């Protein structure tokens, strides 16, 4: 399956989401099944992997950059971390090559207009997509307001929300993922991403079954 994590703006947890979805898929489907492709010019995922201390247990997925060409095609599951604010051409290519597009968004102090505009572009292109609420503070009631706004606009939203956790910052700085930290908040964050991955798999499998039934 092909999952593309795309942001309509920066600072929404796009790269963190791509890495943890790849980890969840790797744990679910086994070693050698999953790769995350760092398609963002910043190459933040490649740098994240490069910062991993020697001797640690390997992640259950691979990380490759664009310099690896089409090597990612041999994997059963591929998660793309695409560049932010894609052009129409890049967006069309992503839609054609993806089973599902994940659109992370925060809820704090943001207008709905840019997000809804981006989702309208996806819908016009016939994309299968779902919005993921990220970086949600425990004090923040705006996340529920944002969810209601999206649902009222008939936009698909993942059930889980990703809470704002210090573990995410520590993970990127130390070449780790949140499931590698034993504290309860990090483990809760990891469970949320596993639930997101489960919902993504369920949607993709359901769409494939529906397509097969129409043939």
CATH label of the domain that carries residue 143:
3.40.50.300
State how far the alpha carbon of 155 is from the alpha carbons of 29, 89, 115, 128, 150, in Å: 29, 23, 11, 11, 5
* Count of domains observed in the chain: 1
The pLDDT, as a whole number, for residue 140 is: 64
Distance CA 71, CA 64 (A): 8
The pLDDT, as a whole number, for residue 205 is: 95
The pLDDT, as a whole number, for residue 40 is: 84
Residues of the domain holding 23: 2-214
Distance CA 43, CA 66 (A): 9
The pLDDT, as a whole number, for residue 118 is: 92
The pLDDT, as a whole number, for residue 110 is: 56
Distance CA 4, CA 84 (A): 12
pLDDT < 70 stretches in the chain:
108-111, 139-140
Look up residue 145 and give its DSSP letter. Answer: H
């Amino acid at each position: 399956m092909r999952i593309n994590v795309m942001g309509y703006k920066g600072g929404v947890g796009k790269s963190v989401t791509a890495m943890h979805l790849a980890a969840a898929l790797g744990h679910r489907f086994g070693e050698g099944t999953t790769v995350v492709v760092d398609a963002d010019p910043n190459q933040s995922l490649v740098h994240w992997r490069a910062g991993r201390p020697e001797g640690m247990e390997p992640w259950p997925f691979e990380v490759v950059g664009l310099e690896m060409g089409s090597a990612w095609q041999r994997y059963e599951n591929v998660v793309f971390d695409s560049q932010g604010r894609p052009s129409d051409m890049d967006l069309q290519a992503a839609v054609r090559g993806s089973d599902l597009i994940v659109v992370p968004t925060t809820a704090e102090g943001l207008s709905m207009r840019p997000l809804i505009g981006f989702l309208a572009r996806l819908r016009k292109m016939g994309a299968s997509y779902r919005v993921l609420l990220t970086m949600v503070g425990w004090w923040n009631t705006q996340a529920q307001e944002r969810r209601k706004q999206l649902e009222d606009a008939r936009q698909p939203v993942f059930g889980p929300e990703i809470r704002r956790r210090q573990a995410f910052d520590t993970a990127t700085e130390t070449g780790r993922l949140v499931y590698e930290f034993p504290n309860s908040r990090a483990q809760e964050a990891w469970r949320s991403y596993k639930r997101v991955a489960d919902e993504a798999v369920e949607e993709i499998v359901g769409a494939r079954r529906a397509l097969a039934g129409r043939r």
